[in-house]
Amino acid sequence: LRDEVGRMERLSLVGQMAASITHEIRNPMAVIRGFVQLIQERSPKSQHEYFRIVMEELDRANMIISDFLSLAQNRELTMELSSLHDIIEELIPLLNADANLRGQTIKVSFCNDLPLIMLNNREIKQLLLNIARNGMEAMGDKGVLRVSTSFNKDKVELRIADEGVGIPAEKMKHLFEPFFTTKTQGTGLGLPLCISIAERHNGRIDVESREGEGTTFIVTFYFAKSAADIKSA
Ligand code: ADP
Ligand code: MG
């Protein structure tokens, strides 16, 4: 137990440092972005491509900082007995908007009588969004992303299945490593964040993939058998 307390303290120290460092980096970056925009307005059209690249890279660095902050903060979670279906439903408009832009479709299928489970609403949304966005990014237009739920006696499963390019075995090994990305605009922090969220929910993430056919992410949450288990978990 003593070890565990020490670990929590270290984590929160890292979290605090991450928060202040990201703040200190973001401020000058916002200033740089503002001035780049100003200079762009006064410069010849032929240079606009360079400015676009500078802005894109600034935005990318900003994204890495945001993802890293969520990962490092590892805050104390407030868990509530929640309906996973409600959480998914709250995200559907956002997912649909994203899919529409890409000419893709989201299909949701809910099982009946899904039990409530202990969840942190904000984190589960972040997890679902990250996995769903990856799915959409792996598909071309007309692709269908299927989100579904199921349960049996001790667990609830959330499946996010895409019809994308799939993940070759040599990449599968690195999937959850921080900064592993195959995208020019990727941060490689989405899945590490998902894993840390799943772990904090006492859950797990499995991946099934076939190259050229698609990938399914399966997020599993286990029930606590009694209130006592929730306290000691
Ligand atoms: P990012 O999306 O910023 O690249 P992630 O941690 O979310 O970082 O994902 C890491 C990598 O895993 C991606 O760059 C991609 O190569 C691979 N990946 C994740 N999800 C999928 C998916 N549904 N289909 C194909 N590849 C995927
Ligand atoms: Mg991602």
Q: From the alpha carbon of 214, which atom of ligand 1 is closest? A: 24
Ranges of beta strands (E only) in the chain are 80-82, 105-109, 117-119, 144-152, 155-161, 204-210, 214-222
Mean of pLDDT values over 2-10:
55
Contact 203, 156 (CB under 8 A): no
What span, in angstroms and rounded, lies between the C-alpha atoms of 135 and 80? 28
173 lines ligand 1 (CB under 6 A): no
Among 70, 134, 170, 179, say which to mutate for ligand 1: greatest number of ligand atoms within 8 Å of CB: 134
126 lines ligand 1 (CB under 6 A): no
Q: What is the pLDDT of residues 118-135, one digit of tens each?
A: 999 989 999 999 999 999
As for the ipTM of the complex, it is 0.99
- How many whole angstroms from 194 Cα to the centroid of ligand 2? 10
C-alpha 173 chain-centroid distance: 19
Q: What is the pLDDT of residues 29-81, one digit of tens each?
A: 999 999 999 999 999 998 888 999 899 889 888 888 888 887 777 666 788 99
DSSP 1: -
- How many whole angstroms from 99 Cα to the centroid of ligand 2? 15
Q: From the alpha carbon of 131, which atom of ligand 1 is closest? A: 20
- How many whole angstroms from 227 Cα to the centroid of ligand 2? 35
Q: What is the pLDDT of residues 162-186, one digit of tens each?
A: 999 999 999 999 999 988 999 988 8
Q: From the alpha carbon of 175, which atom of ligand 1 is closest? A: 12
Q: Is 128 buried (19+), middle (13-18) or exposed (0-12) by CB count in 10 A?
A: buried
Alpha-carbon torsion 102, 65, 62, 30, what sign? positive
Nearest CA to ligand 1 atom 18: 134
Mean of pLDDT values over 85-106:
95
143 lines ligand 1 (CB under 6 A): no
Among 159, 173, 191, say which to mutate for ligand 1: greatest number of ligand atoms within 8 Å of CB: 191
C-alpha 21 chain-centroid distance: 22
Residue 8 has pLDDT above 70, yes or no: no
What span, in angstroms and rounded, lies between the C-alpha atoms of 212 and 164? 7
